[in-house]
Structure 1
């Protein structure tokens, strides 16, 4: 039988069948020479050992050529080379594959090359006992530096062998496959240098390489203690370069255009761990690890670890875990407990990376040495999806420092992802963290298109997460930075930076050129989507990190939340939102349990840490049925809330179920001891309507904050409220509490039951102050401005306005629109100061007659004997002195203004100021004739004067005809 070529196999099943039928060598042939060398190889079998002698020696190189090379189960192939040989080059020139299920031995430290372009099977019992490196390849020839080729497809009998060093492996059009079989028991569980007798392994600091067409490791094991392991798959013609190094050989793939596939399954193991971690390089088109297979390059001693690099032209895929639930499919570099060496770096270069169903990619430390860096470069996408069916394994990308004992001080490495699109979903996680005394690493995501973190595990227990954090120990967390076009956090997923111990939490920075969207809740309605930094436990002493969002548009809706908080003694982080277009915070969770929101808070009653600052810089802030708040529920102080919106701030309505009022606030809650922060709003227009609230204050024992608004206009409509209410006595003499300061360039409008209040409740609690500066204040439809105190002294209301319309000062609230500063009793009333140039502030709105006067019938002649007359101007265009004349006609006389005197019954505590000048007329013995005003005009000084038609007035031509006066004069 001529044999079966591996390059014709269609699947792993085909390979396994071939091996089972032909007893691990696919043919009955064993080892035989081919007589193609100047000095041919000799094969002599004695018992179960093939003794191989002869071959052609050129310098320190020894060349062997075989027609077939297979080792049956339990047999040995022994190369009887002299000690000074450095390289043994073996080729198989016949048509059959090499099936090896026994032992290969060499003498001394020689490197062994086995080249068979038809394919190679390394069975479960295959072993190596060689002093140097081992390279198995399905290349067609081995190329040397002087141009010589040692070819397995075109063997030459003439003397073309060389003393030169090999420089490359030349592959043909259809290279054979390499299959490595095993029992799946080679996975590392200890820090022993070589921790198993199973599989293929070479001596420490040597290279073990499989370079073929497709590579399939089915339960097989490859190990070297600190050396190098190379897996390379070449699909078509190409040249793989090789270069001698201290650890054997390195390989280059610049001469390869078409790569094949590499698959590890059934707990297959590739392990280059050593006193100093070994190097692992993998090159293929598709690289797949599944069913608990693992690739590891760890540090077991004091030396630094090596590099683990996976290169896949199309896809790197890690799936699931072993059938016995013991091992996740894994790519890892790490340090073990009790070691001091640093871990090596792990780098993945591919088009797509997929980690799913409980598989893991990690760079970590369990010892005193620093963990390695994990870098993923995926030109298209990185997807981390789900957990194992039993929830034992989470799909994970991580760089972390783990807690093996209290003496761990190793810092975690950094995790960097460079891709077009990142997707984390169904309870999977990407994390850089520290659980020990070492610092956590930084997690940086650069995704040119999008980052999506979606949902939770099937049982809703575990959130899909992108995070940096510290555990219960003292290490500080690293920072999380996301650079992308769009960030989406949805359906109960979380992106966060936190601390659970004494270490500081990391900062979370999002730079999204288009948008950040945090949307929705988990399936069971218990968890909203979250973008957070936090100091998370009541016994946590570490400060939380800051949360910064830089984007064009931020959308938070349907119960999702963006938060920087503290629950312990550590300070809460600051939350800063910089959105060039808009910030929209909308609605509540579908379950109705929590509102959408932006929050900084000290959120537990026993929390002593101060909350951070909340700052929003945008064009438009829109809040509907949601909340934006900086508050405290504990002993720590609440943070300040600052909104800078160049166009508008709109706070509108309530949530759909009516449970949550739309809210913009800085408040100390009912059980809080800490002071609340201030709320500052700078915008063009502030709109609050339909029961919404903008508020500061204290419902606890701490001081309330102050509300400061600078705007061109403020509109409060339909039970809207600006409030700085408090229940706290002033516990801080250096800081005023619960005051409202409004600087409104044009209009402050209150209507339909809207209010501005600084009311106080409680013993010895003084009402806050209200300070308003505006052009026009309009308060109608039972809208009030009040600085009242239920149990003590009222506050102060001071309004500077060009005009106040509708609202009036009163002793107490009425169904009208009121301005009040009442106390517990009249002697405890506060003060109201209304400064309105030229306008009686008690006049309210000017009432016009029901039917506007027609200017055509205005009285223009003297009407002695009549008791009274009136003059009313309607519209904005003016009225001429005579109905038949134009407005510009100057024929009239000026009538002096009559000064208004304050009412004698002005209430106590109210001062009325009028900046208009008072004209004092001299008293005459003969009363002047009162001329009725019938028009108005503007004089040269720009002053408006009333005019009356008289017979002596000088006239000028007009396009109108004069009308004679025929009304009889009484008593003339």
Structure 2
């Protein structure tokens, strides 16, 4: 249960419960003390405030002036519906500083007015409620806060909890708010916005804001700030045309106020120790649209936008700019739509003029976007759309669609005119896109789509289709549906999984060029499975997308003419299975892109595919650099094909081993054009008869299939030879010295003997001499005929190895048939004959 829902239940209980219940009355600002029709000074200032009531107008005079600051202090301050609190200040006053020292909350449901361009600060630590009729008529900025005190540059504090200190004679503008340990809550109630989409496309049409002047609003270029404990906008509307809107839910700490030259203030939350929660519901709105560079800053612990609540900036001038900044230290949730599904909850910027639309920056621990929620930047004119940046230290989840309007949840941007869409940058530890959830950038005009950059430390998972609209898959997608080019997509992660019909794509449906896709996964990439509509896929393509009738009704050409982008994947392990595919292609007249994969291991299983195909343009190329193995199993395929007159693409594969099993194929085919070429370099290629490697053309010239072993660079093993000659006498044994020794050396096979006058050594024979001992110790046994035959053979063997008296051989004799026999030579007798005369050794 969200804070706003919990609070609503308490409010309903109060309507039907007597005020004597201390348990109910103890919640936050729901006090038992009267809260309506009271503006009562407390006489804590040297010059007290004076309140004059004239019908429904409460005129406030007096107060203590210090330079251009005017201080008021009240025991209670509330403005009922239909009444007015009028600060009758001198026009030279720049800041009206008002505090409430009593125990009542301030319930504002009427009009607060002041003279000139003074800023108004309303400080009540007990709490602030702005009802649906609350209005502001002031020339400067408005600060509503439940902080304890306002802090000035010289260290003096204008405190609502310790009001004894008197204002100094001269103080400058306040520089900060000091929030106590138990700040009250701030609630803004209202009927909610009446925004409508300006076109039939709910997601991509600009918002029509209308002309209704409701809710809390300050003059153009000023600041409207609500700083306190928990903050809820329940249908409430806060507006600063071209100015600054600040919502800060602070538990403890300090908030800095920084005056801007253009007017208003910028707030800094670096001094905040802990945050409270912020909730926008029931079509609540924070709006800084206008001709200036409007900005909105929201800072809290848990921040939620639900029920069609929207944070909006529409740039309406040539200079544009500004930003929406959201800091949620724990969790940011964006969920749902308004009752008819026409306005999606979320953060949205747009430009309707030549100026750039505002940027969107989200900083949080966890981000959840679901039920059609969006974080979205758009341009409807010549100005560029703003950049969308999301930093979530732990996780991001984008899932589902609206059950009312079937619009999918989205983080992204688009252009519908000459301006370019903004870039989208995502950084987190874990990213999950489920059931239609999308991160994307699209061009519907002459402008180019933005680039998508996604950095995820641990893993990315994309899975499934939208529950209400099964035509929408979970995706990371850049696309163009006009003459503008789609942006490029870069994904950096450890593990990437794309399954159940999800996809990572870049596409063109008209004349623009689709973007390129680069995926760097330090551990693995897996693409698997299909949905009822399409396979899981990573690819760049030119798509028909619509039927010819639909394309004609939309004013689109019969076929896309834009070229497809390239796809590059770098990972140790790539698996494509169960009908999934990694592809480049074009269903129109444009070129297919190139598919390049670098991996240690690639596995295609159960109809997994690598494809580069065109309907009539030139076929794309496939290049695989595989360090270890490439396996294709169960009708998987690698295909580069071209239809019509286009030439087939080329397939180049370099791997240690390639295995094709169970009907798998590698092909580079064409119809009328030339077949592509297939080049395979592998140490081992294994394929069964039912598999094939082909490069053909039905009507044109067949391509070439070339299979080679990879060239092995052996230069690294070569040893540089010395330039100095080697003395051979140090490398060859001295024959005379050896001949004088009475010894015999037997060596194994191969190699040269140490004495160059000796013959090469034949195999040495080893015989087990224990056979004779076994025969002597074994008793006689009756043997079968077969055993007798074996025993006879064994006896023959034994007879050849009966132990004899051993005499050491001192020479050898070679006979005419080449037989060599070891002999004992008499002293001084030359044995054996040589083709090389033995050298004569001196005595």
Q: Same fold (TM over 0.5)?
A: yes
1:47: which partner in 2? 55
List alignment gaps of at least 5 residues for structure 1.
Answer: 1-6, 403-407, 588-594, 654-660, 713-742, 746-875, 878-885, 890-949, 961-972
State the match for 2:142 in structure 1.
134
Distance of aligned partners of 1:212 and 1:57 in 2 relative to their CA distance in 1, 3 Å threshold: same
Equivalent position to 1:533, from 513, 516, 540:
540
In 2: Cα distance, 1:194 partner to 1:222 partner:
15
Tell me the SS of whatever aligns to 1:11.
helix
Answer whether contact 1:38 1:157 (CA < 8 A) is retained: no
Distance in structure 2 (CA, Å) of the matches to 1:139 and 1:260: 13
Check the 8 A contact 1:193/1:273 in 2, yes or no: no
Alignment of 1:552-951 (within 5 A): 552-579=572-599, 581-587=600-606, 595-602=607-614, 604=615, 607=616, 609-619=617-627, 620-625=629-634, 626-645=636-655, 647-653=656-662, 661-668=663-670, 672-689=671-688, 691-698=690-697, 700-711=698-709, 888=762
Other-structure match for 1:147:
155
SS of match in other structure, 1:702:
coil
Q: Distance in 1 between matches of 2:292 and 2:823?
A: 108
Report 1:932-971 matches (<5 A): 952-953=816-817, 956-958=820-822
Q: 1:431·1:443 contact (CA, 8 Å) conserved in 2?
A: yes
The structure-2 alpha-carbon separation of the partners of 1:231 and 1:256, relative to structure 1 and needing over 3 Å to count, comes to: same
CA 16–349 in structure 1, closer or farther in 2 if over 3 Å, else same: farther
Q: Which residue of 1 aligns with 2:570?
A: 550
Alpha-carbon distance change, 138 to 19 in structure 1, aligned in 2, over 3 angstroms: farther
Which has the larger helix fraction?
Answer: 2
CA distance in 1, matches of 2:346, 2:170: 43
The CA deviation at 1:887 is 9.9
Aligned match for 1:240, one of 234, 245, 255: 255
CA contact (8 A) 2:197 2:343 kept: no
- CA gap 1:384/1:159 in 2 versus in 1, 3 angstroms: closer
Match of 2:379 among 352, 365, 376: 365
Q: 1:8 to 1:555 in 2, by over 3 A?
A: closer
Residues 322 and 157 (structure 1), Cα distance of their counterparts in 2 relative to 1, 3 Å cut: same
User: For residue 500 of structure 1, what is the aligned residue in structure 2?
Assistant: 509
The CA distance in 2 between the partners of 1:133 and 1:340, in whole Å, is: 28
- TM-score normalized by the length of structure 2: 0.79
Distance 2:576 2:226 in 1: 52
1:477 match: secondary structure? coil
1:339-488 counterparts in 2 under 5 A? 339-402=353-416, 408-458=417-467, 460-471=470-481, 473-488=482-497
Distance of 1:369 and 1:535 partners within structure 2: 27
Deviation at 1:954, TM superposition (A): 6.5
Alignment match, 1:259: 275
Shift of 1:627: 0.7
Q: Work out the CA distance in 2 between the residues paired with 1:69 and 1:502.
A: 64
What is the alpha-carbon distance in structure 1 between the residues aligned to residue 815 and residue 265 of structure 2?
A: 121
What corresponds to 2:716 in structure 1? none
Task: Give ranges in structure 2 of 5+ residues lacking alignment.
Answer: 20-29, 199-206, 545-557, 714-748, 751-759, 764-813, 825-843
The corresponding residue for 1:729 is none
| Alpha-carbon RMSD | 2.6
Q: 1:702 to 1:956 in 2, by over 3 A?
A: closer
Conserved 8 A contact 2:584-2:613? yes
Q: Distance in 2 between matches of 1:36 and 1:171?
A: 21
CA contact (8 A) 1:130 1:202 kept: yes
1:82 aligns with one of 63, 69, 90: 90
Q: Distance in 2 between matches of 1:575 and 1:88?
A: 66
Pick the aligned partner of 2:304 from 275, 283, 288: 288
For residue 229 of structure 1, what is the aligned residue in structure 2? Answer: 245
Alpha-carbon contact 1:280-1:307 (below 8 Å) kept: yes
- Describe the shift of the 1:167–1:954 C-alpha distance in structure 2 as closer, same or farther (beyond 3 A): closer
Partner of 2:827: none
Alignment correspondent of 2:499: 490
Deviation, 1:8, is 14
Q: Is 2:284 the counterpart of 1:268? A: yes
User: TM-score w.r.t. structure 1 length?
Assistant: 0.69
SS of the residue corresponding to residue 408 of structure 2 reads: coil
**Per the alignment, do residues 83 and 628 of structure 1 end up closer, same or farther by CA in structure 2, a change over 3 Å counting?**
same
Matches of 1:38 and 1:9, distance apart in 2:
44
Kindly state the Cα deviation for residue 341 of structure 1 after the two structures are TM-superposed. Answer: 1.4
Shift of 1:450: 1.2
Instruction: Using the TM superposition, give the Cα deviation of residue 194 of structure 1 relative to its aligned residue in structure 2, in angstroms.
Output: 7.9
Does the CA contact (< 8 Å) of 1:277 and 1:297 recur in 2? no
Q: 1:18 to 1:62 in 2, by over 3 A?
A: farther
**Among 331, 338, 342, which residue is 1:322 paired with?**
338
Find the residue that maps to 1:176 and give its secondary structure: coil
CA distance in 1, matches of 2:689, 2:405: 46
Q: Deviations over 1:800-855 (max 9, x none)?
A: xxxxxxxxxxxxxxxxxxxxxxxxxxxxxxxxxxxxxxxxxxxxxxxxxxxxxxxx
Tell me the residue number matched to 1:121.
129
> Which deviations, in whole Å up to 9, do the C-alpha atoms of 1:273-306 show, x marking residues without a partner?
0113400011000110000000011212222121
Q: What is the CA-CA distance between 1:370 and the residue it aligns to?
A: 0.4
Matched, 1:35 2:43: yes
